[in-house]
Amino acid sequence: MPDFPSQGPRLHGRRGARELLLQVLYEADLGRRPPDALLSERADEMEIAPDQLKFIRSVSDLLHATIDEIDRKITTAAPRRPLAQLAPLDRALLRMAVAELLVADTPAAVAIDEAVELAKRYGVESSGRFVNGVLGTIQREIEAGPGTAPDLEPVTNG
């Protein structure tokens, strides 16, 4: 299990909000509790500012409303790494980052960089490269627009 920060007011700004959401998604993915309940509980414990809570709720809400589309994007971008076989942390992080890319409230480069940093911090050695490759592929697809078939090379290793 990743070494997430202990309880207390340690997480600040959007980076902290992303870290909190990653914790919630990771725990929910392991089947411990529903993400909405976990998010409310953890936000209170961590003393997340209202504007940051609004941000992570918007990402979380979009993630859960479009989970099938997000999972398809991840599966297409990394065909050799089935979603069910991804480490729970990588799966949660990719889902969160793709949802943030779809919200378009944050520049894509920032969303990807933040996800890569979280992957490096909490994942295995190859997590950062893998997350970067998958998100880069997905971002190029998003930029190409619906109905287009951009010449994208899926992530096969990492």
Work out the angle at residue 87's Cα, subtended by the Cα atoms of residues 84 and 88, and round it to the nearest 5 degrees.
80
Specify the pLDDT at position 11: 57
Whose structure tokens read 């096969």?
156
Structural domain spans, the chain: 13-144
Specify the pLDDT at position 59: 86
| Six-digit token string for 127 | 């997590």
pLDDT tens-digit readout, 80-124: 989 999 999 999 999 999 999 987 678 999 999 999 999 999 988
> Which of 49, 53, 28 has its CA nearest to residue 38?
28
Q: Give the pTM.
A: 0.81
Specify the pLDDT at position 109: 93
pLDDT tens-digit readout, 31-66: 877 888 888 888 778 777 888 888 888 888 888 899
Architecture of domain 13-144: Orthogonal Bundle (1.10)
Specify the pLDDT at position 134: 96
Specify the pLDDT at position 108: 92
> Which of 1, 158, 3, 2 has its CA nearest to residue 81?
158
| Rounded Cα distance, 109 and 100, in Å | 11
Confidence bin at 8 (pLDDT 50/70/90): very low
User: What's the whole-number mean pLDDT along residues 11-31?
Assistant: 84
